[in-house]
Amino acid sequence: MTVFKHELSRGRTSFAVWTVCVALLLSACVCLFPEMKGEMENVSDIFSSMGSFTAAFGMDRLDFGTLLGYYAIECGNVIGLGGAFFACLTASVILSKEEKDGTAEFLLTHPISRRSIVTQKLMAVFAQITGLNAIVFLASLASMRIVGEEIPFKEVILIHLAYYLMQLELGGIAFGISAASKRGSMGFGLGLAGLAYCLNLIANIAENVRFLKYFTPFAFCEGADIINNLALETEYLIPGAIMCLLGITAAYFIYLKKDIA
């Protein structure tokens, strides 16, 4: 597990910064709710009449004056975008940085197979994503306790689970791209997260491109759907799991056969 431990140590600064930033932003959003609660009671009616804008974010199906409705939209965007960017950035460079930094030959001279290298690096990506989500989830619960709001455990757990699975999917796809890249693909990581987010917004707005939801993991992270159905959308989870597995499979196939120098 040498490579796994090395990757965790190598990425500890990035992990700490992203985790602290997302956790603090999320906690700040929750702590602002009591101050905004009175003003939010009439906001839902205003949002419901704003057409495509409210449909894009699902605000027409949630009560912004409740903690759950507020959390699903405001806090959901913090977890979703912050977690997606972190997952994509971490996974999109983890296999290519050895070539970029000129340390590939040194790594491959050790008595460890390429398959083991890929496996341990993949484990490191998923461990960091898991760690970030665990800390952010605890920060969320603590913030709700601090402001004295009753915690809707089932809904909050489902919302966080959806975003965790979304990050794993994006991480798996970005991991496959990392294996194909020679000089790092951080830009692609940022682009992948942004594209996935925008595809879901477009699919929410335009009914004739609803099929785009099958290509973005943000589709099963819709707060309104989770709260109203108390379940995750398996219709979009299954294609997401397939894309994640395809990305991971591609990473193994490419890395085991590529000429690394």
pLDDT value at 35 more than 90 = no
* Residue 250 pLDDT grade (very low, low, confident, very high; cuts 50, 70, 90): very high
HSE at residue 82, side-chain half, CA atoms within 13 A, is: 23
Dump pLDDT digits (tens) for 180-236. 877 666 778 888 899 998 888 888 888 788 889 999 999 898 888 888 888 898 899
* Residue 147 pLDDT grade (very low, low, confident, very high; cuts 50, 70, 90): confident
Indicate the angle between helix axes 2-10 and 114-146, nearest 10 degrees.
50
Amino acid identity of residue 233, one-letter, is E
pLDDT value at 261 more than 90 = no
Cα(211)–Cα(134) distance, rounded to whole angstroms?
32
Model confidence, pTM: 0.89
pLDDT value at 122 more than 90 = yes
Indicate the burial class of 128 (C-beta count within 10 angstroms; 0-12, 13-18, 19 or more): buried
- How confident is the prediction for the chain on average, in pLDDT? 84
Query: Residues 159-170: what's their mean pLDDT?
Result: 95
Greater confidence (66 vs 234) lies with 234
Q: Which residues does 67 contact at the CB level (< 8 Å), separation at least 6?
A: 33, 144, 149, 150, 152
- When computed from its CA atoms, the radius of gyration of the chain, rounded to whole angstroms, is 20
Instruction: Give the best-scoring range by mean pLDDT among 17-31, 53-67, 71-85, 142-156.
Output: 17-31
Instruction: Give the best-scoring range by mean pLDDT among 42-51, 133-142, 248-257.
Output: 133-142
Q: Which residues does 127 contact at the CB level (< 8 Å), separation at least 6?
A: 4, 8
